[in-house]
A = this chain, B = another copy of it.
Amino acid sequence: MKKIEVGLLGATGMVGQRFASLLEDHPWFELRWLAASDRSAGKKYAEACNWRLRKPMPAKVRELVVHECKPGRAPQLIFSSLDSKVAGEIEKEFAAAGHVVVSNSSNYRMEPDVPLLIPEVNPGHLALVRTQRKERAWKGMIVTNPNCTTVGLAMSLAPLERAFGIEKVVMTSMQAVSGAGYPGVPTLDILGNVIPFIKGEEEKVEQETQKLLGRLDGGKIIPGGFIVSAHCNRVLVEDGHTETISVSLGRKAAIEDLIQAWRGFRDLPQERDLPSAPKHPIVVREEPDRPQPKFDVEAEGGMATIVGRVRPCKVLEYKYVALSHNTIRGAAGAALLNAELMKSEGYLD
């Protein structure tokens, strides 16, 4: 099979680097076009990019020239990890010009006609692009993935919602510094410290979770009928957002039922064996002190949500811990899986 050429907006940032790394040996996609801010445009990627991943920069992107963020001769399929300050305009321009923009940026996530997707959770929401095309004069389209903190929460709630219904959720996150990009969090801010505030994060988590677990009906999403309260914090971890979650369910369920729901959770990505799909979207750890970012964040190539410590909650019904890799499953890997879903659904032909 000839690989599909893809482009990348925001190629030099932390998430852009993850995209470049994850696309290195991708069986379907070939990264051939990079774009970033004007400061980088015109340089080779190896010069423009301050590579911060432990895995070295893929050889085949080193020599690619970084372009300005203009549609023109970019490939049809475009991944975007642009800063939200500029993503709004640029992604619109690409979509209008006929590109399929698979975006990690927050700008369009909550637009009523833009799919906010986790392929295991709400693959059917992809059909929302029909509304999008009807309502906007775009030749292309925009599809988004959730915030890095939403992902672990929504992934771990989805099987519970399907099996028992969900009513209330209280979540506290302990988020990794890579979530703030590069240079991101200054060492002087976080060494020996906790920062109990991440601008806009709690609102995103609360809203996105409801959209993700909502229902597509008559061309629009009916948000999930539960409520979420989020407390978001930054801690001194490199990769991996850890979340403590209390939840009350719609129906009675035993702890074993929850574990079974998580362990049995699978959907289109697993059924169709999409290249980036984790075999086990949810990994359940049984040790009393897991998951931990240091040991668990790389499970299933960073694409799994790891849960553990499920136990009764005196205020809601159950409580547990969830962990998710914020720049893989929470960003670049999420968008990549979205694109794979779109390909398998025929959106890229």
Show the binding face of A for B, using Cβ within 8 Å: 14, 52, 54, 168-170, 172, 174, 177-178, 182-197, 199, 206, 227-229, 231, 233, 235-238, 242, 244, 246, 288-295, 298, 308-309, 313-316, 319, 321
Contact = CB atoms under 8 A, between A and B. Distances in A.
A228 B187 CA distance: 31
Nearest to A245: B231
Contacts of A14: 188
A7 to B, nearest CB: 25
Nearest to A244: B231
A186 B182 contact: yes
A314 B227 contact: yes
A293 B191 contact: no
Nearest to A246: B170
A52 B174 CA distance: 22
Nearest to A206: B314
Contact of A54 (B182, B185, B295, B316): B295
B188 A186 contact: no
Contacts of A289: 195-197
Nearest to A53: B295
A178 B192 CA distance: 12
